[in-house]
């Protein structure tokens, strides 16, 4: 890594930001980075020192094996230590740090009329009451609790209550279908499901309780007796006061199993001794798409995740006590886990928690919220930036955005045009844009600029965070030096990396460690330029990234194949102006079945029902046959080119029947 000397336009950190920053210049970054690699023990011990440990570690800060040829893959952080996540992110601030009256969250509802403020002391009190409720329901240390909730304070309360009693939360994004929820409840073997009556997303009412009931019914049909209690928050009926559609009478109810949140919380005591957990006990499971189509339960553990989310939050957003921070992600994804709940709370930060949409009830909603709460650090996704760009500068001009200091993005590569708009129009040229590359599996940022230290190049996630050692490999596993492009891998762990796939260590090892022994394989392609900057080029496996949501071609294909008319399906990505990528599906029909508009609509509905609205295909094309190799493997490269209408297909000699390609091109116009 060298200090950049590039000729292309660089964006240097503003001097005012550097004055008071944790990492004030590029040289400081280099010195700290070097220390983090040369002496990880000292580096991470210092980070750990500010937290509360019921028992100190007896083992080293980090131990690992990344080489399958030498035994099981493992990562171990602070062996022997005992602590509690919830204690560290709440009690420590309230009792030791005197932050009890500090605002933890400004909650802003779907409608601008709904909002509330929650201090650290109030949050702690709610969490303890919820922890006692869960205990009352029989939830014990190590048990799993599934959570299917919108972006409301109770979501954070429930996850921290789990952490307090040592239960493992498994949050399922509340846009997923009943089928997806059922699959995740069954895999985690949860005994409790926490949900809400309903939620408005923009104008649309979503009946979460009904979806939950369907999911639990499906679990029952599949032979799982798992969930014995369903805890239901009266959100839609109570808080949004639309009155009619959801109340106790109209919400489907099974009295043996269902319990209203407010009824049990009311009398629950607000003190609860934390369960003292081992450093390596699981904190949560979060499902992410697997290339086989079955979601993988990524497991994160207590101590390492605490250290890593806390440190990345502090440095990447250069956090200071008077900041108001806002991450627009949903807590159903890892970004929300790490950078709405745990990272900010570990730092005693004040955050905005937003339930709504960027364009409801008007396209200036984000800017209105920034003005309202005087947000200083703002973190969103490229897809949201591209969406808002479409409306031009007018909606922003109505609001005062002068409080902003740092902007961030996450989820997919950001195109330089969107980056510049974000920097110039939203940040008024004043705010560094931190393009943070990471994954559900990495737990926290791994490649990222530091706002006061790193000169920026639009579209590059720049350099590794402390403790992270990237490498770029070719197909044969040889490490490539200097200016190059290949597979992005990491040579050793950082505290926040995943520990395993729930109940499937073998899949964990095969997915991330088999291809290149000795390295964690991200599945992303990456380029390194002459200044040492890293540029993510996108997934190199069969994964798609739609609006920052990762999904596998296999899971969408499996959903399409459920239709009685479909005999085969292949799904590829196609670039999309707002979503980044969208789904382009080829379907081969069974003999005598007809391809028509109704079928297309039915297939789209099927995918929505099976996976959720985020996976709705944009294009469905009739494919009398698919391009296959002689051994029968579908050649996705060719399908991608057909989807993109790229006529220069190169060598087709490996195809069993090259004529298929022409047929697919001819049928294309009907699809688009
Ligand atoms: O392909 C990369 C892309 O998102 C993938 C991880 O998705 P997920 O586990 O859902 O986590 C998303 C939020 C952390 C990565 O493998 N990705 C994420 N951030 C970036 C990115 N691609 C380019 N630049 C980024 N900043």
pLDDT attached to residue 651: 76
- For residue 247, how far is its CA from the centre of ligand 1 (angstroms)? 39
What pLDDT does residue 230 have?
A: 98
Report the residue among 298, 332, 412, 527 best suited for mutation to probe ligand 1: largest number of ligand atoms under 8 A from its CB. 412
Helices 40-48 + 302-316 axis angle, to 10? 90
Specify the 3-state DSSP secondary structure of 62.
Answer: strand
Q: What is the spatial order of strands in the sheet that 500-501 belongs to?
A: 258-260, 229-233, 192-196, 144-148, 168-171, 282-288, 296-301, 500-501
pTM of the model: 0.92
Question: CA-CA distance, 172 to 164, in Å (whole number)?
Answer: 20
Pocket lining: 82 vs ligand 1, CB cutoff 6 Å: no
Q: Is the CB of 412 under 6 A from ligand 1?
A: yes
Ligand 1 mean position, distance from CA 384 (Å): 15
- Side-chain-facing half-sphere of 323: CA atoms under 13 Å: 26
What's the 609 CA to ligand 1 centre distance in angstroms? 25
> Which pLDDT score, from 0 to 100, does residue 4 have?
53
Q: Kindly give the parts of the chain with pLDDT less than 70.
A: 1-7, 240-249, 669-672
Residue 108: which residues within 8 A CB-CB, separation 6 or more?
114, 115, 352, 353, 354, 355, 356, 369, 372, 373
Q: Is the CB of 436 under 6 A from ligand 1?
A: yes
Instruction: Establish whether residue 437 lines the binding site of ligand 1, counting it when its CB lies within 6 angstroms of any ligand atom.
Output: yes
How many CA atoms, within 13 angstroms, populate the side-chain half-sphere of residue 150? 27
Rounded distance from Cα 241 to ligand 1 centre (Å): 37
Cα atoms in the 13 Å half-sphere on the side-chain side of 288: 26
Residue pair 185/219 in contact by the 8 Å Cβ criterion: yes
E strand or H helix at 346: helix 343-346
Cα atoms in the Cβ-side hemisphere of radius 13 Å centred on 653: 1
What are the residues whose beta carbons fall under 8 Å from the beta carbon of 260, sequence distance 6 or more? Answer: 232, 234, 248
506 CA → ligand 1 middle, Å: 24
Collapsing DSSP states into helix, strand and coil, what is residue 408?
strand
- What does the pLDDT read at residue 621? 96
Q: Rounded distance, CA 185 to CA 171, Å?
A: 10
Distance CA 370, CA 326 (A): 8
Kind and range of the H or E run holding 671? helix 659-671
Residue 460 Cβ contacting ligand 1 at under 6 Å: no
433 lines ligand 1 (CB under 6 A): no
Q: What share of the chain is helix, strand, coil (3-state, %, to 5)?
A: 35, 25, 45
Q: What is the Å distance from ligand 1's center to 296 Cα? A: 16
Pick the closest to residue 169 from 354, 339, 331 (CA basis).
Answer: 331
Amino acid 291: pLDDT: 74
Pocket test for ligand 1, best of 288, 339, 439 (most atoms within 8 A of CB): 439
How many contiguous H segments (helices) and E segments (strands) does the chain have? Answer: 22, 30
pLDDT at 243: 46
Of 340, 341, 281, the residue nearest 144 (C-alpha): 281
Instruction: Tell the burial category of 523 from Cβ atoms under 10 Å away from its Cβ (0-12, 13-18, 19+).
Output: buried
Which residue in the block uniquely carries the two structure tokens 């992110």? 89
For the record, the structure tokens of 311 come out as: 């440190």
Q: Which residue has the tokens 């294309």?
A: 668
At 146, phi and psi to the nearest 5? -90, 140
Cα-trace Rg, the chain? 25
CA of 538 to the centre of ligand 1 (A): 8
Instruction: Give the per-residue pLDDT at 240.
Output: 65
Q: Quick check: CB of 440 below 6 Å from ligand 1? A: yes
Q: Which of 532, 522, 449 has the alpha carbon at shortest distance from 491?
A: 522
- The whole-number pLDDT of residue 44 equals 98
Report the alpha-carbon angle 339-342-344, nearest 5.
Answer: 60
Which of 282, 311, 315 minimizes the C-alpha distance to 299?
282
Query: Using CA positions, which residue lies closest to atom 23 of ligand 1?
Result: 413
Atom of ligand 1 lying closest to residue 538 CA: 1
Q: How many residues appear in the chain?
A: 672
Q: Is 539 in the pocket of ligand 1 (CB under 6 A)?
A: yes
CB 448 within 8 A of CB 318: no
Residues 6+ apart with CB under 8 A from 88: 51, 52, 306, 346
* Residue of 154, 89, 122, 143 lying closest to 270 (CA atoms): 122
Whether ligand 1 lies within 6 angstroms of the CB of 545 is answered as: yes
Q: What is the pLDDT of residue 97?
A: 82
Ligand 1 atom nearest the C-alpha of 543 is: 1
The dihedral formed by the CA atoms of 217, 222, 226 and 232, expressed in degrees to the nearest 10: -20
Query: How far apart are the CA of 69 and the centre of ligand 1, in A?
Result: 29
| Mutational test site, ligand 1, from 411, 526, 547, max ligand atoms within 8 Å of CB | 411
In whole angstroms, what is the distance from residue 165 CA to residue 628 CA?
Answer: 53
Ligand 1 centroid to residue 370 C-alpha, Å = 25
Q: What is the pLDDT of residue 248?
A: 45
Please name the residues in contact with 301: beta carbons below 8 A apart, sequence gap of 6 or more.
77, 279, 280, 281, 282, 283, 499
How many A from CA of 105 to the centre of ligand 1?
Answer: 26
């Amino acid at each position: 890594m060298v200090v950049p000397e590039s000729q292309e336009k660089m964006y240097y950190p503003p001097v005012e930001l550097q004055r008071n920053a944790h990492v004030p210049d590029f040289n400081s970054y280099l010195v700290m980075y070097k220390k983090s690699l040369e002496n990880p023990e000292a580096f991470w011990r210092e980070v750990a020192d500010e937290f509360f440990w019921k028992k100190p570690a007896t083992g080293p800060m980090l131990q690992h094996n990344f080489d399958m040829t030498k035994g099981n893959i493992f990562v171990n952080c602070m062996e022997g230590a005992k602590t509690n996540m919830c204690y560290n992110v709440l009690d420590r601030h309230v009792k030791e740090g005197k932050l009890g009256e500090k605002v933890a969250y400004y909650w802003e509802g779907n409608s601008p009329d709904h909002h509330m403020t929650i201090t650290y002391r109030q949050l702690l009190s709610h969490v303890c009451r919820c922890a006692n409720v869960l205990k009352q329901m029989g939830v014990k240390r190590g048990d799993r609790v599934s959570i299917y909730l919108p972006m409301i304070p109770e979501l954070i309360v429930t996850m921290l209550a789990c952490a307090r009693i040592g239960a493992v939360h498994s949050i399922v994004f509340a846009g997923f279908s009943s089928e997806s929820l059922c699959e995740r409840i069954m895999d985690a073997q949860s005994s409790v499901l926490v949900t809400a009556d309903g939620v408005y997303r923009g104008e649309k009412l979503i009946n979460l309780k009904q979806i939950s009931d369907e999911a639990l019914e499906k679990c029952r049909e599949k032979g799982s007796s798992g969930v014995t209690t369903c805890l239901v928050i009266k959100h839609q009926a109570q808080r949004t006061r639309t009155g009619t559609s959801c109340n106790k009478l109209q919400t489907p109810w099974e009295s043996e199993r269902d319990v209203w949140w407010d009824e049990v919380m009311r009398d629950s005591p607000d003190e609860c001794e934390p369960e003292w957990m081992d450093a390596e006990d699981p904190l949560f499971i979060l499902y992410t798409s697997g290339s086989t189509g079955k979601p993988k339960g990524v497991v994160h553990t207590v101590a390492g995740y605490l250290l890593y989310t806390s440190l990345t939050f502090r440095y990447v957003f250069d956090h200071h006590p008077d900041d108001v921070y806002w991450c627009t992600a949903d807590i159903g994804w890892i970004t929300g886990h790490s950078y709405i709940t745990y990272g900010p709370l570990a730092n005693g930060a004040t955050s905005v928690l937003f339930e709504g949409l960027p364009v409801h009830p008007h396209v200036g909603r984000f800017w209105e919220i920034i003005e309202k709460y005087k947000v200083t650090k703002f973190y969103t996704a490229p897809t949201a930036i591209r969406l808002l760009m479409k409306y031009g500068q007018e909606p922003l001009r109505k609001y005062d955005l002068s409080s902003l200091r740092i902007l961030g993005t996450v989820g997919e590569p950001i195109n330089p045009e969107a980056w510049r708009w974000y920097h110039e129009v939203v940040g008024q040229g004043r705010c560094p844009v931190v393009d943070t590359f990471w994954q559900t599996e990495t737990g926290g940022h791994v490649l990222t600029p530091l706002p006061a230290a790193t000169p920026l190049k639009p579209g590059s996630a720049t350099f590794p965070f402390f403790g992270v050692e990237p490498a770029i490999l070719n197909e044969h596993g040889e490490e490539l030096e200097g200016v190059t492009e290949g597979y992005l891998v990491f040579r050793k762990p950082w505290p926040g990396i995943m520990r395993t796939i729930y109940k499937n260590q073998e899949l964990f090892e095969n997915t991330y460690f088999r291809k290149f022994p000795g390295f964690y394989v991200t599945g992303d392609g990456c380029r390194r330029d002459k200044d040492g900057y890293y540029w993510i080029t996108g997934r190199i496996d069969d994964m798609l990234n739609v609006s920052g949501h990762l999904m596998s071609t296999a899971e969408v294909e499996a959903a399409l194949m459920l239709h009685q008319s479909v005999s085969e399906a292949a799904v590829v990505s196609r670039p999309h102006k707002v979503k980044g990528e969208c789904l382009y599906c080829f379907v081969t029909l069974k003999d005598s079945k007809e391809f028509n508009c109704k079928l297309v609509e039915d297939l789209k509905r099927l995918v929505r029902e099976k996976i959720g609205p985020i996976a709705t295909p944009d294009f469905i094309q009739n494919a009398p046959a698919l391009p296959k190799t002689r051994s029968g493997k579908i050649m996705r490269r060719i399908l991608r080119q057909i989807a993109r209408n790229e006529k220069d297909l190169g060598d087709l000699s490996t195809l069993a029947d090259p004529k298929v390609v022409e047929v697919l091109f001819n049928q294309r116009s009907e699809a688009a």
